[in-house]
Amino acid sequence: MEYSLMLLVPAASFLALLFAGYLAAKVKSHDEGTPDMVAIAEAIREGARAYLKRQYTGVAIFFAVVLAIMVVLVVLEYIVVFVPLAFVTGGAFSALAGYIGMSIATASGARTANAAKSSLDAALQLAFSSGAVMGLAVVGLGLLDLSVWFYFLNWFYRDADLSTRITGIASTMLNFGLGASSVALFARVGGGIFTKAADVGADLVGKLEAGIPEDDPRNPAVIADNVGDNVGDVAGMGADLYESYVSSIVATSALAPAAGLSMEGIMAPMIVAAIGVLASVIGTFFVRSPKEAGQAGLSKALRKGVWTSSLLVALITFPLLTHLMPEHSTGVGIAVLSGLLGGVLIGTFTEWYTSPQYRWTRHLAETASTGPAPVLIQGLAVGFMSVAPIATVVAVVILVAFLASGGAGNYNLGLFGVGFAAVGMLSTLGITLATDAYGPVADNAGGIAEMTNQDPVVRERTDALDTLGNTTAATGKGFAIGSAALTAITLIAAYKEQVAILARKAGVSVDVTFSLLEPRVLVGVLLGSVLPFVFSAYIMQAVATSAQEIVVEVRRQFREIKGLMEGRAKPDYARCVDICTRVALKEMVTPTLVVVTVPVIVGLILNVQGVAGLLTGAVASGFMLAIAMSSAGGAWDNAKKHIEGGHHGGRGSGSHRAAVIGDTVGDPFKDTAGPSLNILIKLISMVSVVFAPFIIVNHLL
Amino acid sequence: MEYSLMLLVPAASFLALLFAGYLAAKVKSHDEGTPDMVAIAEAIREGARAYLKRQYTGVAIFFAVVLAIMVVLVVLEYIVVFVPLAFVTGGAFSALAGYIGMSIATASGARTANAAKSSLDAALQLAFSSGAVMGLAVVGLGLLDLSVWFYFLNWFYRDADLSTRITGIASTMLNFGLGASSVALFARVGGGIFTKAADVGADLVGKLEAGIPEDDPRNPAVIADNVGDNVGDVAGMGADLYESYVSSIVATSALAPAAGLSMEGIMAPMIVAAIGVLASVIGTFFVRSPKEAGQAGLSKALRKGVWTSSLLVALITFPLLTHLMPEHSTGVGIAVLSGLLGGVLIGTFTEWYTSPQYRWTRHLAETASTGPAPVLIQGLAVGFMSVAPIATVVAVVILVAFLASGGAGNYNLGLFGVGFAAVGMLSTLGITLATDAYGPVADNAGGIAEMTNQDPVVRERTDALDTLGNTTAATGKGFAIGSAALTAITLIAAYKEQVAILARKAGVSVDVTFSLLEPRVLVGVLLGSVLPFVFSAYIMQAVATSAQEIVVEVRRQFREIKGLMEGRAKPDYARCVDICTRVALKEMVTPTLVVVTVPVIVGLILNVQGVAGLLTGAVASGFMLAIAMSSAGGAWDNAKKHIEGGHHGGRGSGSHRAAVIGDTVGDPFKDTAGPSLNILIKLISMVSVVFAPFIIVNHLL
C-alpha cells in the first residue's frame, strides 16, 4: 500500500494554507487609501461581519437540532458516533472557508481601488491575490479536514481486517459532506437573498425612480449592496465550492470498495486533489500583468494561470496513478482528463451564451428595442437553449469516464471513474475559484471608487476589471453547476452502495436495482423533479419580498432625511444592512426545511427506491434549471452592459430601460436561485445517505 | 370472451358523431347577424381555412417522408405493414378532429355574438354547443378509429393462437398514436405560434403604441388574432387531445398481455372510454341556463355537466368491469376513479394558482405596483410553485392505481392500472373538451361584437363568457398536462414491453431493467431532461421572431394606409394572416425535427437503455415545465384582468402597464410552449416505440 503518497495530501493542504496566508499578508501590506476610502471599507467590513455573525448563529441552531437527532440515531445504533463528529467538522471548515474569503475580500476592496490609482496591473494583482487567498483557503481546508479524518480513522480501525477498515473509512468520510452542504446552503441561500435584496432594492429606487447612478453614496442601500457582494458572492461561493470539492472526493472514495479497490482507491481521489492544489499554487505565478491593453489582455492573463494548472494536473496524474493503481491508471487518468476538459468546455459554452462578444447576447440586446416583454421571452429562450450543450458535455464526460475506467466489465469501477471526473473537474479549484472570487473584489473596488469620487480613470480601470469579473463569474457558475451534477451522480451511486452495505448489516433484503419503471422509483423521479422548481420559487419570492422592504426603506430615507439628495446629509446605511440581514435569515428557513425533510419523508413512504428516484429527478431537473437560470441571468446582465456601451441607443434609451428590467429579473436567477440549486442536489443526497440506516427499516411501501 | 360489450365502442362512437352532427346543424340554424358580422366571420373563416390548408400540406409532406422511411423498414422486415397504415389513419383522424373543431368554431363566433343580443343564456348555449361538437367529434373519431382497427386486426389474426392474436392487436394499435401525435405537434406548435404571433404583435403596436383597444377593427392584425384563436386554441387543442385520448387507450391495451390478461384486457380501456362518451353526451343536457347571475352561475352551469358525466362514469364502470374482468374489477375500477378524481383535483389546484379569486394571483396583481421586474419574478414563482401540488396529485394517482390494481403482486398489472388511471382521467373528454373549446368561441364572439360596434351590453355578455372561458382553459390545460404525464408513463411501460417482445422475436438479449444507475439510462435521463428546455426555447423564440414581423407590418400599415386611424380606410387584414401563416409553418420545422430525430439518435448511440432514460427524463422535466409555464401564464393573464377590473389603479396605471408586460411574456408560455410540451413527451415515446425494432439491433453502446 502506497501510504507514502498519501502524505502529499496534508503537505498540499499546508502549502495551500501557508501560501494563502502569505498572499493575505501581502494584500494587507498595501495602503487602503484616503480616510474616506478607509471609512467606507470599514462600513462594508462591519456589515459583512455583522451579517455572517448572525448567519452563523442561525447555522449553529440548525446544527444543534440536527446533532440532537443524530445523537438519538447514535443511541438507537442506526449510525456510528463518527457521523455527528464528521458533520460538525465539515460544517465548521466550510463556515471557516466562507469567513476567510469574506475577510480577505472586504480587506481588498479599498486597496484595489487605491491600487487602481497607480495602474491597471497593480489593481489586477491585488484583486487576483485576494481571490487566490480564498481559492487556496478552500482547497487547503478541504484537504486538511480530509487528511485528519483519514489518518484518524485508519488508526482507529488499525486492528480490523482490511475490508472492514476500508468500508469504515469510506462510509464515515462520506457523511461529512452533510455538514459542509448544510453550511453551504445557508451561505448560498441566505447570502444570495441578502445580496439580491440589496442590489434589486437599491436599483429599483435609485436607478429607476431617483435617477441617480449605481453605487451613488446618496443611496441608503449602497453599502448593503457592497456587503452583499461579500457575503453572497464571496462567502456563499466559498462555502458552496468547499462543499463540492469535499463531496466529490469523499463520494468517489466511497465507491472504491464496491469497485473492488483497496486502500489505494480511497486515497487516490485525495492524492489527485493534492496534485491539483500544487498545480494551482504554481498556476497563480503565471497570472502576470497583461502586455495587451483591454479585456482581451486581462482575460488572457487569468486564463494563462488556469490553463497552466490544468496542464500540470494532466501531466502529473498519469505517472502518479500508474504508481498508485497500475491496473486502472489509464482508465482513471482518462476520467480525470475528461473532467478537466469538460470543465473548460462548460466554461466556453457558458461564455458563448452570455458574453456580448457572441451572437446570443448581442441578439438579446437588439431585441430590447421592441420593449421589455420580448427581452424577457428571448432571454429565457437563451437560458433554456444553453442547457443543451452544457448538459451534453456532462453526459459525454459521464460516458467517457465510465467506459474508460472499465465500466463495461466492472460497473462499479465505471461509477468510480465518473466520480473521478468530478474530482478532475474540481482539481484546479484553487485557481479557478481565485479567478471567480476576484470579481466581487473588483466590483467593490468600483463601488468604493465611485462613492469617494475618485478620478474617472480609477473607475475606468476598476470597471475593466469588473467586466472581466462578470465573465469569470459566468464561467465559474457553469463550472460549479457541471461539477455539482457530476458529484450528485457520484453521490447517488454512493447512496446505492451505502444502502447495499447497510442492508447486509441489518439483515434486511433491499432491492437496489432502482428500475425506472418501478412505481416507487418513478414517483420518486417525478417528486424529485418538482423540488428544484419549488425551491427556486421560494427563493425568487424571498428576493422579491425582501427587495420590497428595501424599496420601502430607501424611499423613506429619501423622503425623511433632509438634504440627502443634495449630498448635505448622510443616509442611514446600517439600517438597510440590518433589514437585509433580517429578511435573508428569515427567508432561508423554509427552503432549508424543505430540502432537509423531503428526502426523509419520501424515504419513510417510498423506501430507498423512492429516495433514489427523488435524487435522480432532482439532479435532472435541478441541473437544467440551474444552467437555464444562470445563463439567462448572465445574458440579460451583459445585454444591458452592451447597450450601456453605446449600442441600440445606449443609456437612458427605451432599449436600456427594457434591458434593465431583464437584468433585474435575471439577478435572483443567476446569483441566488441558480447557484442554490447546485447545493440542493447535493444536500438531498447527503441527507439521504445519513438517514439511510433509519429508512431501510422504517418505511411504508 | 365478452366480445358483445365491445359493441359499445362503435355504438358510442356513432352516437357521439351523430349527436355532434345534430348540434352542429342546430348551431348553424341560428342567424349570423348583420351583414358586417357575416363579413367579419367570413374573413376569419377564410383565414383559418387558408392556414389549415397550408398546415396540412406541410403535415402531408412530413407524413410522406416518414412513410417512405417506414416502407423501407417494412421491406427490411423491421416493422409490419400495419404500422404505416395505422400511422396514416391516426394522423388523418387527428387532422379531421382539428378541422371539424375549427369549422364549427368559426361558424359559431358571429352567431354567439348575435345570440348575445337577446340574452346571456342564448349565447352560452350556442357557444357551449359549438364546444360540444368539437368534444364529441374528437372522442367519436377516436373510438371509430380504434374500433375499426380492433375488428380488422381481430379478423386478420383469426387463425392465430390467442397469445399471438393479442400481442398482434396490441402492438399494432400502439403504433397508431404516432400519426395522431405528429399531427398534434404540428397543430399545437404551428397553431400556437400563429395565434401568439398575431396576438402579441397586435397588442405590442395596437395597445401599447397606438393606444387603441383590443379587437379594434383599425388594427390590421385583428383578424389574424381571431383566426389564431381558431387554429391554435381550437384546432390545435382538438388534435392534441385526440392524440392524448387515443394514446392513453392504446398504451393501456398494449400492457394487457404482459399483465397476464387476455382479450378482455385489450378491450377494457376502449369500453370504459365508450362509457365515458355516453356519459359525456348525457352530461351536455345538464348544462342549463344559469339561474344565478354572473360568473358563479355560469361556472356552475358548466361544472354541473362535467360532474354529472364523471359521476355516471364512476357508477357504470364498476358493474361493467365486474362483468368484463371479474378478478380485477375492483382494482382497475379504483384506478379509473383515481384518474377521474385526479383530473378534478388538478383542475382545482390550477384554478387556485391562476384565478384572481385566490391569493396567488391577487398577490401577483399587487406586486405590479412596484413595476414589471417584480411582476415577472413573482409570476415565475407562482408558476414554479404550482408544480408541487399538481405533480403530487399525479404521483398519488400513479401509486394508488398501481397498488389498487395489484401491482405489489403483479408488477405489469399495476402498470396496466396506471394506464387505466389515464383512461379514467380522459374518459369524460367529450364534455370537458366542450367546456374548454367554448372559450375561444366566446373570445371570437367578443371580438366580432367589438369590431361591428354592437351595443355595450352585447360585449358585456360575451366578456362574461370569455372570462369564464379563461378559467376553463386553465383547468383544461392542467387536465391536458396531467393526462399527458400519465399517458407518457404508460407509454414508457408499453415501450419496455415492446422491446422485450421484439428482443424475443429477434433473438437478441436486451436488458430491460432500466436501472437508474446504468450510465446509459442515467445519461438518457439527463438528455431527456434537456429536451423540454430546448423545445420551449425554440418555440418562445419563434413567437418572439414572428411577433416581430407582425409588429413591422402593422406599423407599416398604420403609416402607409391613409385615413386608417380615422376609420376612413380599411387595413389589409389578409396580409397579416399571410405573414402569420408563413412564419408559423417555417418556425415549426426545427422543433419537429428535434423531437422526431433525438429519440432515434439517442437510441442509435445508447441503445434502448438510453431511450428509456430519455423518455423518463423528458416526462419528468417536461411535465414540470409545462405546468410551470401554463400556471405562470394564466396567473399573469388574470392578474392583468384583475387590475383591469379596477384594482391597484386600474387600466392605464403603472400597475396595468407592468401587468401587460407579464401577460405578454405569459402568452407564449401558456398557449404555445406549455401545451406543446404535452405532445413532446408523448410523441418521443411514440417515435421510440416505432423505431424500437431497428434500434435493438443497431446501436453503438
Please write the tens of the pLDDT for every residue from B411-442: 889 999 999 999 999 999 999 999 888 888 88
Mean pLDDT of chain B: 89
Phi-psi region of B119 (alpha: psi -120 to 50; beta: other; left: phi over 0): beta
Cα separation, B667 vs B229, in Å, equals 12
* A471 pLDDT above the threshold of 80: no
Cα separation, B304 vs B298, in Å, equals 10
B700: CB partners within 8 A, 6+ apart: B604, B605, B606, B607
Cα separation, A149 vs A140, in Å, equals 14
A288 — pLDDT class (breaks 50, 70, 90):
confident
Burial track B379-389 (b if 16+ CB lie within 10 A, e otherwise): bbbbbbbbbbb
Highest mean pLDDT among B42-56, B265-279, B569-583: B265-279
Which pLDDT does position A431 carry in this prediction? 92
> Number of Cβ pairs closer than 8 Å across A and B?
235
* A549-565 tens-digit pLDDT: 888 888 888 888 888 88
A620 — pLDDT class (breaks 50, 70, 90):
very high
* B690 pLDDT above the threshold of 90: no
Which pLDDT does position A291 carry in this prediction? 62
* A341 pLDDT above the threshold of 90: yes
Which residue shows C-alpha cell 453614496? A217
Cα separation, A138 vs A94, in Å, equals 8
State whether residue B124 is helix, strand or coil.
helix
* A152-168 tens-digit pLDDT: 999 998 888 888 888 88
- B544 to chain A: nearest residue by CA? A374
Question: Residue B643 — φ and ψ, nearest 5°?
Answer: -65, -40
Cα separation, A677 vs A484, in Å, equals 9
Per-position DSSP letters for B580-639, written without gaps between them: HHHHHHHHTHHHHHHHHHHHHHHHHHHHHHHHHHHHHHHHHHHHHHHHHHHHHHHHHHHH
* From A398, A514, A547, residue closest to B523, measured CB to CB: A398
B182: CB partners within 8 A, 6+ apart: B59, B62, B63, B66, B91, B592, B596, B683
Diameter of chain B by CA atoms? 77
User: Which chain A residues have a beta carbon less than 8 Å from that of B394?
Assistant: 526
* B193 pLDDT above the threshold of 60: yes
A601 — pLDDT class (breaks 50, 70, 90):
very high
A561: CB partners within 8 A, 6+ apart: A569, A571, A572
User: Which chain A residues have a beta carbon less than 8 Å from that of B536?
Assistant: 381, 384
Q: For residue B371, how many other CB atoms are within 10 A of its CB?
A: 21
Burial class of B551 by CB neighbour count within 10 A (0 to 12, 13 to 18, 19+): buried
Handedness of CA B605, B607, B611, B617 (dihedral sign): negative
Average pLDDT of span B30-44: 89
User: Which chain B residues have a beta carbon less than 8 Å from that of A200?
Assistant: 373
Cα separation, B149 vs B266, in Å, equals 12
* A383 pLDDT above the threshold of 70: yes
* From B382, B514, B543, residue closest to A377, measured CB to CB: B543
A68: CB partners within 8 A, 6+ apart: none
State whether residue A515 is helix, strand or coil.
strand
Which pLDDT does position A295 carry in this prediction? 66
CB contact under 8 Å between A617 and B620, yes or no, is yes
* A652 pLDDT above the threshold of 90: no
Which pLDDT does position B587 carry in this prediction? 85
C-alpha A578: how far from its chain's center?
25
Q: Mapped to the 3 state alphabet, what secondary structure does A336-350 carry?
A: HHHHHHHHHHHHHHH
* B449 pLDDT above the threshold of 70: yes
State whether residue A174 is helix, strand or coil.
helix
Which pLDDT does position A3 carry in this prediction? 80
Please state the domain extents for chain B.
2-697
CB contact under 8 Å between B534 and A398, yes or no, is no
State whether residue A271 is helix, strand or coil.
helix
Mean pLDDT of chain A: 89
More confident residue, A392 or A39: A392
CB contact under 8 Å between B523 and A372, yes or no, is no
- B411 to chain A: nearest residue by CA? A518
CB contact under 8 Å between B534 and A665, yes or no, is no
Q: How many residues does chain B have?
A: 701
- B619 to chain A: nearest residue by CA? A526
* From B415, B516, B526, residue closest to A395, measured CB to CB: B526
Regarding an ipTM greater than 0.85, the answer is: yes
* From A378, A525, A533, residue closest to B387, measured CB to CB: A533
User: Which chain B residues have a beta carbon less than 8 Å from that of A518?
Assistant: 411
User: Which chain B residues have a beta carbon less than 8 Å from that of A493?
Assistant: 517
Terminal CA-CA length for chain B? 44
Is the distance from CB of B116 to CB of B122 less than 8 angstroms? yes
At A298, the amino acid letter reads L
Task: Please report which residue ranges of B452-518 form alpha helices under DSSP H.
Answer: 456-506
* From A378, A547, A621, residue closest to B620, measured CB to CB: A621
State whether residue B515 is helix, strand or coil.
strand
For residue A205, give the DSSP letter. Answer: I
Is the distance from CB of A438 to CB of A130 less than 8 angstroms? yes
A626 — pLDDT class (breaks 50, 70, 90):
very high
Question: Shortest Cα distance from A516 to chain B (angstroms)?
Answer: 6
At B619, the amino acid letter reads V
Which pLDDT does position B293 carry in this prediction? 59
* B292 pLDDT above the threshold of 60: no
B150 — pLDDT class (breaks 50, 70, 90):
very high
* Substitution target from B370, B377, B539 for chain A, most A beta carbons within 10 A: B377
Which pLDDT does position B363 carry in this prediction? 92
Terminal CA-CA length for chain A? 44
Question: Residue A515 — φ and ψ, nearest 5°?
Answer: -70, 135
Handedness of CA A540, A544, A547, A553 (dihedral sign): negative
* A1 pLDDT above the threshold of 60: no
- A660 to chain B: nearest residue by CA? B373
Cα separation, A42 vs A48, in Å, equals 10
pTM beyond 0.90, yes or no: yes
- The dihedral formed by the CA atoms of A444, A449, A453 and A458, expressed in degrees to the nearest 10: -150
Question: Shortest Cα distance from B419 to chain A (angstroms)?
Answer: 12
Nearest to B630 by CA among B332, B293, B349: B349
- A108's enclosing H/E stretch is helix A82-118
Is the distance from CB of B36 to CB of B452 less than 8 angstroms? yes
User: Which chain A residues have a beta carbon less than 8 Å from that of B403?
Assistant: 519, 701
Which pLDDT does position B229 carry in this prediction? 82
Task: Please report which residue ranges of A452-588 form alpha helices under DSSP H.
Answer: 456-506, 519-560, 573-587
Name the least confident of A390-399, A480-489, B18-27. A480-489
Burial class of B560 by CB neighbour count within 10 A (0 to 12, 13 to 18, 19+): exposed
A283 — pLDDT class (breaks 50, 70, 90):
very high
* Cell reading at B533: 428546455
